[in-house]
């Protein structure tokens, strides 16, 4: 019986796969850009990654991290940024490629949290919120040392905690969600509205570089994003009693520009005694967290 499992991380930007051993080492990994368009074009990329990674080798199980929303029970996924997939039967389709091998699907946020808990910044934590601050803001929970997905597997989707009740519309149908303030493209759009002069195609990395050399509007954009993320963390911590928030994703690469206002906001809003020990730390596994967490899902 093999110890290796196949881990997949499927999102609107990339499809990644790897063979992962019991220690969490990723042995053979493949990553391709996600073809959007028809459901089957996107699926073909997933099938090709599975084939390139497995190459006929035995795998004990398959863990899949998918952009959400997901339905972990049904094994279907409806990623907002993969418009062709609505209720797509990802677990069933992967099972058809590898008959007899158990397959589990979870959200990419929950898998990131699980990966960081297993081998990253959350190793000493039992009650952990993992956040990915990137194009959007996602996340997941590990509670009592176990992944907590909630009813459908989407618990911890912190980007939709409301931080500005009269704020900008969000694709979820609400307004003023943390993602509308702290998602990278939203930060850039806000900075432009305040008068930031930037080339076409400017992204959160360019915004961070400008903030890093002291430009006031970009600095304010990070201050605002950090506050939004900090408020969402504080709200979640008060509800589920956390000891750690681990923050990763492209926007978090800005370091102190984002983490300073997050920590300040958390300190300002977490006055209850049970939140005294709450820490906010940068993620350590980078882009591998989803794959590692997906593997952990099925390694148990």
List interacting residues with Zn ion (CB under 5 A). Answer: 160, 170, 172, 174, 177
Least distance from C-beta 177 to Zn ion, angstroms?
A: 3
Contact 264, 230 (CB under 8 A): yes
Tell me whether residue 97 or residue 172 sits nearer to Zn ion (CB atom): 172
3-class SS of residue 3: coil
Nearer to Zn ion, 236 or 288 (CB): 236
Closer residue to Zn ion, CB minimum distance, 163 or 244: 163
Distance, in Å, from the CA atom of 36 to the CA atom of 127, rounded to the nearest integer, reads: 36
Query: 101 vs 172, which CB is nearer to Zn ion?
Result: 172
Other CB atoms within a 10 A radius of the CB of residue 46 amount to: 22
Compare residues 90 and 177 and give the one whose CB is closer to Zn ion.
Answer: 177
Residues 155, 141: Cα–Cα separation, whole Å: 7
Q: How far is the CB of 185 from Zn ion (least distance, A)?
A: 14
Contacts of 132 (CB under 8 A, 6+ apart): 108, 109, 112, 138, 139, 248, 249
Q: Of 62 and 182, which CB lies nearer to Zn ion in the complex structure?
A: 182
What's the rounded Cα separation, in Å, for the pair 178 and 170? 9
The minimum distance between CB 90 and Zn ion, in angstroms, equals 23
Cα angle for residues 231, 234, 240 (degrees, 5° grid): 140
CB of 176 to Zn ion, least distance (A): 8
Min CB(72)–Zn ion separation in Å: 20
Minimum CB distance to Zn ion smaller for 19 or for 187: 187
CA quadruple 285, 44, 72, 2: dihedral sign: negative
Min. distance of Cβ 174 from Zn ion in angstroms?
A: 5
Indicate the SS3 state at residue 21: coil
Q: How far is the CB of 7 from Zn ion (least distance, A)?
A: 28
CA distance 141 to 150: 9
Of the pair 174, 212, the CB lying nearest Zn ion is at 174
Pairing label, strands 137-143, 146-148: antiparallel
Smallest gap from residue 225 Cβ to Zn ion (A):
15
Radius of gyration of the chain (CA): 19
Phi then psi for 295, rounded to 5 degrees? -65, -45
Of 65, 67, 52, 66, the residue nearest 19 (C-alpha): 52
């Amino acid at each position: 019986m093999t110890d290796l499992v196949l881990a997949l991380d499927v999102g609107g930007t990339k499809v990644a796969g790897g063979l992962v051993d019991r220690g969490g080492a990723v042995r053979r990994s493949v990553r391709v850009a996600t073809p959007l368009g028809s459901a089957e074009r996107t699926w073909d990329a997933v099938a090709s990654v599975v084939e390139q990674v497995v190459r006929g080798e035995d795998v004990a199980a398959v863990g899949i991290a998918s952009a959400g929303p997901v339905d972990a029970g049904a094994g279907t996924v409806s990623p907002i940024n993969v418009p062709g997939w609505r209720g797509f039967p990802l677990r069933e389709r992967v099972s058809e490629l590898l008959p007899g091998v158990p397959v589990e699907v979870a959200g990419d946020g929950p898998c990131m949290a699980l990966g960081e808990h297993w081998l990253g910044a959350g190793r000493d934590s039992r009650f952990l919120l993992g956040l990915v601050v990137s194009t959007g803001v996602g996340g997941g929970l590990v509670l009592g040392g176990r992944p907590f997905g909630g009813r459908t597997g989407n618990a911890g989707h912190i980007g939709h905690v409301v931080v500005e009740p009269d704020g900008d519309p969000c694709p979820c149908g609400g307004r003023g969600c943390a993602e509308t303030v702290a998602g990278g493209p939203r930060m850039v759009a806000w900075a432009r509205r305040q008068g930031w002069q930037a080339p076409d195609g400017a992204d959160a990395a360019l915004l961070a570089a400008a903030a890093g050399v002291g430009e006031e509007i970009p600095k304010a954009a990070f201050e605002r994003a950090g506050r939004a993320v900090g408020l969402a963390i504080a709200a979640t911590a008060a509800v589920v009693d956390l000891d750690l928030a681990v923050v990763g994703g492209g926007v978090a690469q800005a370091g102190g520009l984002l983490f300073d206002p997050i920590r300040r906001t958390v300190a300002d809003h977490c006055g209850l005694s049970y939140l005294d020990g709450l820490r906010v730390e940068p993620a350590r596994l980078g882009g591998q967290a989803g794959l590692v967490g997906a593997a952990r899902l099925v390694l148990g």
